[in-house]
Amino acid sequence: MWSLAWKNVRRGRGRSLLTGAAVAAVVALMMIMYGFSGAVVNGMFQNMTRSTGHLILRVKNADKIREFERGLIQDAPALQERLARALPGADVEAMLEVPALLAGEKRSRGVLLYGLEPGGRLMKEFVTKKLTAGGPPQDDGDWSAALGRALARALKVKVGDGVYAFVPNTSGIGAAAFTVSGLVALPESTMEARTAVITLAAAQELAAPNAASRIVIFLPGLVSPTQQGRLEQARSKLAPLVPAGFELLTWRQAEPAMAAILDMMTPLLLIYAVIFFVLAGLLVVNTVYLGLVERIREFGVIIALGADRWRIMRLVIIESLLLVLSGAAVGAALGGLAVWRMSHGFSLPGPLARQYAEFGLPVVMYASITPAQVALVFAFALLTALASALWPAWLAGRLEPVEAMRHVA
């Protein structure tokens, strides 16, 4: 039956080729779209988690606490060390965010001072990679600070000038002078106008000795939001170490808006898949139906020779399956090749890349597709083949042998 079906598919060569090519195009397109979406999602995930970390330890509901002192992790280094010991290979960094008044010679602004570990991943992400002038903050002798460009403009200061930070009513020294070590360009201009980065030690001495507002954990090899299992595994490993009154958040909980954007990709692609496969399905229906109409006499003979209606329906469905799946195989090969090439890195055209960088999209992206996504594309193709064959198969199954053999096409 399979052999006969295959010969029948090849019989209407031009029509079968056209339909197979349409299915191949849809499958290839879907694979490229999945590869592209993998690149976007992974790129955004990596971009985001480079600044948020994969797991974050903080005081419970810290974002809702108004008083500075109540939102702090006291004795942060000890806790940081315990967490690092529990997760070998992970980077565990503390950061201290201090609301402050920063003043230049003539102007002052309310800012958020970020105290980061020199040489740490957060410092690299927030400062080193974004420097437009000068260098990162230091605490060897004189304290220095890297300022957002917009903030420096507002304060009318430049690299090498002095600024003064005031943090009243804290357990630290409360006020200190900093030299502007460098200027950083941040993706959002509002953030750039209120950000200054100093070293963790300087922030702690200024406002909260030995404390941190959060401890950020970077897990090794976590490059995609689909690796949820690894994240949960690390989280449960750390859970017993979390003191009462604290919470250990995943990046999803810390950045729910971004998580929602990334999660939207899956249903969005499913909608595209449905649209594309329905269009391809219409072509398949047309091909299978015309194949049936042209061979009504032949179907009549096959029924006369003893094939029952189920077998006839099976023959029509098998023809549709062969047509679609062979097209899908070609499409998967072409799509796979394209995704493989894109997996070595690709960029959007210049202006687009710059525009999308604002939303956290990396300039160079790396396509990736999971076996489950490939399986999903094939499942769609399979479903298309079956759905497209149903009506012609039903018609074929209802043929009466005598009438069918008298049919004139």
Partner 1 sequence: MNALIEARNLHKVYKTDGVETPALRGANLTVKAGEFTAIAGPSGSGKSTLLHLLGGLDRPTEGEVWLDGERLDDKNAVERARLRLWKVGFVFQAYNLIPVLTALENAAFVLELRGRPSAERRERALAALAELELDGYAERRPNQLSGGQQQRVAVARALAAEPAVIFADEPTANLDSKTGLALIEYMKRLNREKGVTFVFSTHDPRLLEHVRRVVHLEDGRIAGEEVRG
Residues of this chain that interact with partner 1 (CB under 8 A) are 1, 3-4, 7-8, 10-11, 297-298, 301-311, 400-402, 405
Residue 306 or 349 having the CB closest to partner 1: 306
Neighbours of 240 (CB within 10 A): 7
Whichever of 3 and 169 has its CB closer to partner 1, that residue is 3
CB of 292 to partner 1, least distance (A): 15
CA-atom Rg of the chain in angstroms:
31
**Residue 113 CB partners (closer than 8 Å, separation 6+):** 97, 98, 99, 100, 102, 145, 165, 167, 196, 197, 198, 203, 206, 207
Nearer to partner 1, 81 or 308 (CB): 308
| Least CB distance to partner 1 at residue 282 (A) | 26
Nearer to partner 1, 30 or 296 (CB): 296
Return the number of the residue (104 or 397) whose C-beta is nearest partner 1: 397
C-beta of 2: minimal distance to partner 1 in Å?
10
Token match 């030299």: residue?
Answer: 179
Residue 387 CB, shortest distance to partner 1, in Å, is 25
**Rounded CA separation 34/153 (Å):** 43
CA angle 173, 107, 101 (to 5 degrees): 30
Least Å from the CB of residue 15 to partner 1? 15
CB of 239 to partner 1, least distance (A): 60
Give the separation between CA 204 and CA 171, rounded to whole angstroms: 9
Instruction: Pick between residue 153 and residue 297 the one whose CB is nearest to partner 1.
Output: 297
Return all residues near 236 (Cβ < 8 A) that are at least 6 apart.
Answer: none
Q: What's the rounded Cα separation, in Å, for the pair 332 and 34?
A: 12
Q: Write down the residue that tokens 């360009």 correspond to.
A: 185
